[in-house]
């Protein structure tokens, strides 16, 4: 899978000038956001992004999804991914980084680690969800505040 690296730029995921080489990562690419990042990364509300994989390895890095984001694998080794849109069909590995929410939709995702929904956050599940540990044993869903909400559409499977 070809690797496309974030170079900081303006913060807009969909701007090719923010990536090296100068192209927006596509469905067969591996997108990497590492410690050299200068700005937060935004998947805008009108954006629909599909990448092969995403590695977030920047302690100060933030990827905010306001639109639609899909990837086979999202590896969060440091930094923060905020779901205020839709994350679909991904295996999200919390390996030192965190997945956080405002009002976000998870669509047919697997969470490796603890799915934590904080105070004031809402997670909507569509297409089922699997929460598991790295060894495949059942994981944990933690609602950590009085106003933390987990909603499901229709009849969903939560493994």
- What integer pLDDT is reported at residue 37 of this predicted model? 64
Whether the bond into 157 is cis, omega within 30 of 0: no
pLDDT digits (tens, 9 = 90+) for 33-90: 998 666 799 999 999 999 999 999 998 899 999 999 999 999 999 999 999 999 999 9
- Mean pLDDT, the chain, as a whole number? 93
- What integer pLDDT is reported at residue 8 of this predicted model? 80
Confidence of residue 158 (pLDDT cuts 50, 70, 90): confident
- What integer pLDDT is reported at residue 38 of this predicted model? 64
Could you list the beta-strand ranges (E) of 12-139.
19-20, 30-34, 41-43, 48-65, 68-83, 86-88, 91-94, 98-101, 103-112, 114-117, 122-132
Locate 109 and state its tokens: 């995702």
Asked whether residue 158 is domain-assigned, the answer is: no
- What integer pLDDT is reported at residue 14 of this predicted model? 97
Asked whether residue 51 is domain-assigned, the answer is: yes
- Which residues, 6 or more positions from 23, have their beta carbon under 8 angstroms from its beta carbon? 4, 16
Asked whether residue 109 is domain-assigned, the answer is: yes
- What integer pLDDT is reported at residue 157 of this predicted model? 72
Contact status, residue 141 vs residue 133, Cβ threshold 8 Å: no
pLDDT digits (tens, 9 = 90+) for 99-130: 999 999 999 999 999 999 999 999 999 999 99
Q: What is the domain extent for residue 87?
A: 3-152
The end-to-end CA distance of the chain, in Å, is 30
- 135 sits in the region (left: phi over 0; alpha: psi -120 to 50; else beta) called alpha
Asked whether residue 138 is domain-assigned, the answer is: yes
- What integer pLDDT is reported at residue 153 of this predicted model? 85
Q: Total structural domains in the chain?
A: 1
Asked whether residue 157 is domain-assigned, the answer is: no
Contact status, residue 52 vs residue 29, Cβ threshold 8 Å: yes
Asked whether residue 159 is domain-assigned, the answer is: no
Mean pLDDT, range 17-23, rounded to an integer: 96
Asked whether residue 136 is domain-assigned, the answer is: yes
State how far the Cα of 27 lies from the Cα of 51, in Å rounded to an integer.
4
- What integer pLDDT is reported at residue 159 of this predicted model? 74
Instruction: Output the pTM of the full model.
Output: 0.93
- What integer pLDDT is reported at residue 1 of this predicted model? 80
- What integer pLDDT is reported at residue 140 of this predicted model? 93
């Amino acid at each position: 899978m070809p690797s496309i690296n974030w170079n900081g730029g303006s913060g807009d995921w969909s701007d090719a000038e923010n990536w090296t080489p100068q192209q927006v990562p596509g469905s067969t690419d591996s997108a990497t956001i590492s410690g050299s990042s200068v700005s937060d990364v935004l998947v805008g509300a009108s954006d629909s992004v599909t990448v092969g994989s995403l590695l977030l390895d920047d302690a100060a890095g933030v990827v905010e999804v306001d639109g639609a984001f899909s990837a086979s694998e999202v590896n969060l080794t440091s930094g923060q991914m905020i779901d205020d849109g839709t994350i679909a069909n991904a295996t999200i590995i919390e390996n030192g980084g965190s997945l956080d929410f405002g009002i976000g939709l998870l669509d047919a995702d697997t969470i490796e680690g603890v799915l934590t929904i904080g105070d004031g956050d809402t997670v909507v599940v569509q297409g089922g969800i699997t929460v598991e540990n790295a060894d495949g044993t059942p994981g944990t869903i933690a609602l950590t505040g009085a106003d933390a909400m987990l909603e499901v559409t229709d009849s969903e499977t939560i493994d």
